[in-house]
Amino acid sequence: MKNPNLRNESRDRENPWQPAREELEPRDLPPVPKLHGIIGQCSQTYEKVLTETDTKANQGRIFIGKHFVKTSLLPLLNQDENIDLNGIPVSVYNLEGVIYEMKLKLWSSKYYVLTVGWAAFCRDHPVEPKDVVKLWVFRHNEKGELCFVILFENKQK
């Protein structure tokens, strides 16, 4: 099924996952040394202050802001990736380059969330409400898969 949200116009390039030079500045890339060389097209940084529900183990998901999704994430989707239905699998990396398999979904036709592996991520990275995270979305240069990087900007005391 064709993705109705697809807005990426860079598909005409020979390798659509390799960003054009003007698309990225080094400051825009996630600072994860293990990912250097595998980051293709990459979003700008999205900062989020975690809410209480983002951090509850029984919730098992993190909300992602609609504006970021519409301007930075949806343009990176392939034609066959439709988060509106059952969601799509994504790989999420932490600062050390450890991978957490999650699912990106649209809930109730209005909430964009990362789910499934979010509880494991939180277990390995104890989080509190009001912690600030930085998030990037990118295409894996070799595999073409949609990936995320989530890093902690600061921890609340």
For residue 1, what pLDDT is reported? 44
Tell whether 92 is covered by a domain: yes
Structure letter (DSSP) for residue 156: -
Residue 16 inside a domain? The answer is no
14 assigned to some structural domain: no
Q: Which residue has the tokens 């996952």?
A: 17
Residue 1 counted as domain residue: no
DSSP for 49-112? EPPHHHH-TTT-EEEE-HHHIIIIIGGG--TT--TTTT-EEEEEE-TT--EEEEEEEEETTTEE
**Residue 22 three-state SS:** helix
Dihedral angle of Cα 35, 76, 135, 61, to the nearest 10 degrees: -110
Count of structural domains, the chain: 1
Please report, to the nearest 10 degrees, the dihedral formed by the alpha carbons of residues 30, 31, 34, 40 taken in order.
30
Question: What CATH number corresponds to the domain at position 57?
Answer: 2.40.330.10
Say what the pLDDT of residue 113 is: 95
Query: From first to last of its 157 residues, what are the pLDDT tens digits of the chain?
Result: 444 444 444 444 454 444 444 454 445 789 999 998 999 999 999 999 999 999 988 899 999 999 999 999 999 999 889 888 789 999 999 999 999 999 999 998 889 999 999 999 999 998 899 999 999 999 999 999 999 999 987 665 4
The three-state secondary structure class of 124 is helix
**Residue span of the structural domain in which 92 resides:** 31-154
Report yes or no on 78 lying in a domain.
yes
Spell out the residues 6+ positions from residue 139 whose beta carbon is closer than 8 angstroms to its own. 16, 17, 39, 40, 41, 42, 76, 145, 146, 147
Residue 91 within any structural domain of the chain: yes
pTM attached to this predicted model:
0.81
Please name the residues in contact with 104: beta carbons below 8 A apart, sequence gap of 6 or more: 73, 83, 87, 88, 89, 90, 112, 113, 114, 146
3-state DSSP assignment of residue 33: helix
In a domain, 17, yes or no: no
What pLDDT, on a 0 to 100 scale, did the predictor assign at position 110?
87
